[in-house]
Amino acid sequence: MERGVSVLSTRNADLPRKTQVGSITKSSYNGNGKDDQSVFKQGMLVFVHHDVDIWTEGTVSGIEGENILVTLPSGKEQWVKHKDIALRNECDYGSTEDLTLLTPLTCASVFQCLKKRYQQDVFYTRAGVTLVAINPFKDVPSLYKKEVIDRYHQLHGQRKVLSPHVFAIAQEAYSHMRQQVGRMNQSVIVSGESGSGKTVTAKHLMKYLTSISNSNAGDTGTRIESRILDSNPILEAFGNASTSRNSNSSRFGKYIQLQFQRNGQILGASIQTYLLEKTRVVHQSENERNFHIFYQMLNGGNDVEKEEWLGRKDSLFKMITNHGACTEDQQSWRQTREAMGDIGITAQQQDSIFKVLGAILHLGNLVFDGDGDQGCYVDTDDQGENS
């Protein structure tokens, strides 16, 4: 569960600021923040630390010093230390939309709440002003369709009616920007570890903000919205890679600034990137890949293009590991080329870019630190296959 959790929060800011989410101690407590095994009594409901399930439910059935006998749902009894259990109550964790309402508020109760909601296909939960998002690891198009965007825009402020959602965070930032007197910039911080869904969450944020701000902007607004959203597949192609934990991991950081007119209509955007993992070009760990764009070229480009960009037939590119014919690469290639055209990169400019990438692949053979002949042979009469 922890692998798929990201957090979002909004705040007034001219520049991005750090935000800290308060930690929750693992140990049980008696209300004053101190560990106290005397808080546990026979018959109390508890969570028990579990090697597989992390936390599981139980009931105290006996106490001997620091050892507590707990009866598990299966009927099995287990002796545990007081530090390995936490108090629980009989609340409906799956219907709790705000983690701050949990009583008692412990690591175990937070985990149980998120777990129950995830099992119900509910992936967003509030934690005060912060939103906790869990990666569903599947497409959920019904959660982000146009009707949902309209609903969160029209019913903004009716917290009891609207469930926690990334759209609610976006709408809050947009409303604060519109309602504040004078110049009041807003920041939305998306934080989480690799595979938690930050890239997709950022795309949903951008889609929502450009959609609601473009409702009365006409063709000009539509073109601006299209160009902003088309930046995503290009950034992912040149800056994302498949890792052992995430098939679309961003290997760089980005600060996206959406610019609005006084009337709230979208005006433009700027994207600042930083800390690109340049070393990935010449070295990838086991079971990981280079940046997406190289595989998109190899799997998506036609024979004429590959011969022009990559040189002679049967070229060996040692930097390209874990390569093979991939339908997803071919689909992404078409999206990348279309997006490049939509934002104004001409066919001639694209051709120059891909020639540079081809030259990088050839240069990589001189500095590649792999073993022997491992790599990718590219035959311009075929779609390429592993060596």
* CATH code of the domain in which 49 resides: 2.30.30.140
For residue 144, what is the domain's CATH number?
Answer: 3.40.850.10
Range of the domain at 78: 42-87
Domain assignment present for 126: no
Give the integer Cα–Cα distance in Å for 204 and 143: 10
Cis peptide bond N-terminal to 16, omega within 30:
no
For the chain, the straight-line distance linking the first and the last C-alpha, in angstroms and rounded, comes to: 37
Give the integer Cα–Cα distance in Å for 361 and 309: 10
Domain assignment present for 284: no
Element (H, E) at 114: helix 107-119
Domain boundary among 243, 276, 309: 276
Looking at the fold, whether 15 and 68 belong to one and the same domain comes out as: no
Q: Judge whether 7 and 191 are in contact, CB under 8 Å.
A: yes
Q: Judge whether 60 and 40 are in contact, CB under 8 Å.
A: yes
Q: Given this model, what pLDDT does residue 182 score?
A: 64
Looking at the fold, whether 369 and 270 belong to one and the same domain comes out as: no
The two structure tokens encoding residue 211: 């959609």
Looking at the fold, whether 67 and 144 belong to one and the same domain comes out as: no
Domain assignment present for 363: yes
Looking at the fold, whether 153 and 244 belong to one and the same domain comes out as: yes
Question: Is 203 among the annotated ligand-binding positions?
Answer: no
Looking at the fold, whether 217 and 306 belong to one and the same domain comes out as: no
Give the integer Cα–Cα distance in Å for 149 and 166: 10
Question: Is 196 among the annotated ligand-binding positions?
Answer: yes
Domain assignment present for 100: no
Domain boundary among 276, 302, 325: 276
* Burial of 346: CB neighbours in 10 Å, binned 0-12, 13-18, 19+: exposed
In b/e form, how buried is each residue of 61-75, taking b as 16+ CB within 10 angstroms? eebeeeebbbbeeee
Question: Is 194 among the annotated ligand-binding positions?
Answer: yes
Question: Is 26 among the annotated ligand-binding positions?
Answer: no
Q: Judge whether 99 and 127 are in contact, CB under 8 Å.
A: yes
Q: Given this model, what pLDDT does residue 270 score?
A: 92
Looking at the fold, whether 250 and 305 belong to one and the same domain comes out as: no
Question: Is 142 among the annotated ligand-binding positions?
Answer: no
Looking at the fold, whether 272 and 298 belong to one and the same domain comes out as: no
Using alpha carbons only, give the angle 316, 318, 321 rounded to the nearest 5 degrees: 115
Domain assignment present for 154: yes
Looking at the fold, whether 303 and 374 belong to one and the same domain comes out as: yes
Q: Judge whether 317 and 361 are in contact, CB under 8 Å.
A: yes
Q: Given this model, what pLDDT does residue 233 score?
A: 95
Looking at the fold, whether 79 and 145 belong to one and the same domain comes out as: no
- pLDDT one digit per residue (tens) for the chain, 387 residues: 444 677 666 655 543 333 333 333 333 343 334 445 568 888 999 999 888 889 999 999 999 888 999 999 889 999 999 888 999 988 899 999 999 999 999 999 999 999 999 999 999 999 999 999 999 989 999 999 999 999 999 998 787 789 999 999 999 999 999 887 666 899 999 999 888 999 999 999 999 999 998 876 666 667 888 889 999 999 999 999 999 888 899 999 999 999 998 888 888 999 999 899 998 988 888 889 999 999 999 889 888 898 899 876 556 788 888 776 567 899 999 999 999 999 999 999 999 999 999 999 888 777 665 444 455 545 544 433 333
Looking at the fold, whether 321 and 235 belong to one and the same domain comes out as: no
User: Which candidate, 365, 324, 342, places its Cα nearest to that of 225?
Assistant: 342
Taking CA atoms, 174 is separated from 4, 188, 204, in Å, by: 27, 10, 14
Q: Is the dihedral of CA 50, 55, 59, 65 positive or negative?
A: positive
Coil, strand or helix at 364: helix
Domain assignment present for 190: yes
Q: What does residue 45 show for φ and ψ, rounded to 5 degrees?
A: -85, 135
Looking at the fold, whether 148 and 260 belong to one and the same domain comes out as: yes
Rounded to 5, what percent of the chain is helix, strand, coil? 40, 20, 40
Question: Is 268 among the annotated ligand-binding positions?
Answer: no
Domain assignment present for 119: no
Residue 291 DSSP label? B
Pairing of the two strands 5-12 and 186-192: antiparallel
Question: Is 199 among the annotated ligand-binding positions?
Answer: yes
What's the number of domains the chain is made of? 3
Domain assignment present for 202: yes
Q: Hey, what amino acid is at 137?
A: F
Question: Is 197 among the annotated ligand-binding positions?
Answer: yes
Looking at the fold, whether 13 and 157 belong to one and the same domain comes out as: yes
Domain boundary among 276, 304, 336: 276
